[in-house]
Amino acid sequence: MCGIIGYAGARQAAPIILEGLAALEYRGYDSAGIAVIDADGIPAVHKKSGKLVNLATALQGSLPEGVTGVGHTRWATHGGPTDFNAHPHTDCDNQIIVVHNGIVENYVQIKEDLISQGHEFTSQTDAECIPHLIESYIDQEYSFEEAVRASAREIKGGNAVVAISTRDPGKLVAFRLGNAGGLVVGYGQDELFLASDLPALLPHTQEVAYLAGGEMVTLDNHSANYFTLDGMSVTKTPMHVAYDALSAAKGEYKHFMLKEIHEQPEAIINSLRGRVSFDDLKVVLDEFQISDADIARIDRVVFLGMGTSFNAAMVARSWMESLARLPSEFDNSSEFRYRDPV
């Protein structure tokens, strides 16, 4: 999975972004990049294939200045692990800058349409079509936010995208489609963060909100505003996460699989905190907006997961059937989205 980090605040963005990318190295990657926009709206984009240290070495002594920026670590899918294919990607005029996790399933058609309009591409990736698509809407007099929303509605597949623009240098706009890798907004003091996972945020804040599929967020150093892709406002209350940076990383364990195995009891307890009252045997799931009547109408449950989560889905199926007596099944997330279940 690709790693994403974004920042809007009063501090210099580059050191924060590089630190965030280092916290996301466990996700695996074959290239890394960073983009920062300075106070004059001038962008600086740097990217290198290989390990993050290659990028850090190239920037040593000359970190780009600016208080808004994004960073990315990439697993190659479309296009090999080269400097050109690394993220961030830009539009023709280097005014729209994008980092991306996922697969744009209809990128060939989008790219062909954009090339016919005169857009020029420099990489082999599907991700590069996104900043050009946003640019095409801005050329039609859309605002930056409106152009990102229109682009999100045109793209197919599971995707998480963060965009910044020299036209609106203090703002980040992000969206999530389907079951793409997550996006988490972190709330600091006069600064906001956006990342694909908690370890990149925890050195700075424990107040977070998660972006759901079909949602987008615009944020600056003071606020985050959430919407559906249809433009409807969404209210989110930041939640406090009871983790620290060490517990979110490998800690004392040699690798993450060993960590996951040994931390299962504590993880279950943490998941139940504030959600299960053993005094009156009540379950409160504020994040899960579903009524008792809705629950009563459920006649089948499907558990989805990938990797170790797929193993958890298999166990959950057994528990659901034995405890709730509901017909249940499990499936691999990446396969389920292409099924037409009966």
Q: Dump pLDDT digits (tens) for 188-225.
A: 999 999 999 899 999 999 999 999 999 999 999 999 99
Structural domain includes residue 342: no
Residue 14 backbone dihedrals phi, psi, to 5 degrees: -55, -50
What's the mean pLDDT in 124-131?
A: 95
Cross-sheet strand order for the sheet of 159-165: 89-90, 96-102, 159-165, 172-177, 215-219, 224-228, 233-234
CA distance 158 to 336: 12
Cβ-in-10-Å burial (0-12, 13-18, 19+) of 79 comes to middle
Residue where a domain terminates, one of 199, 225, 245 = 245
Domain ranges, residue 277 = 251-337
pLDDT at 113 over 70: yes
Q: Does residue 149 contact residue 110 with C-beta atoms inside 8 Å?
A: no
149 pLDDT above the threshold of 90: yes
Residues 223 and 265 both lie in one domain: no
Mean pLDDT of 42-49: 96
| pLDDT per position as a tens digit, 281-294 | 788 777 777 888 99
Q: Is it the case that residue 59 has pLDDT exceeding 90?
A: yes
Task: Print burial letters for 160-170: b (CB count within 10 Å at least 16), e (below 16).
Answer: bbbbbbbebbb
pLDDT for res 341: 83
Whether residue 9 contacts residue 192, with contact meaning beta carbons closer than 8 Å, is answered with yes
239 and 289 together in one domain: no
Say what the pLDDT of residue 252 is. 62
Last residue of a domain, one of 201, 218, 245: 245
> Is 253 a residue whose pLDDT tops 80?
no
Is the pLDDT reported for residue 246 higher than 70? no
pLDDT the model gives residue 228: 96
Same domain, 80 and 187: yes
Q: Could you tell me the pTM of the whole model?
A: 0.77
The verdict on 148 and 287 lying in the same domain is: no
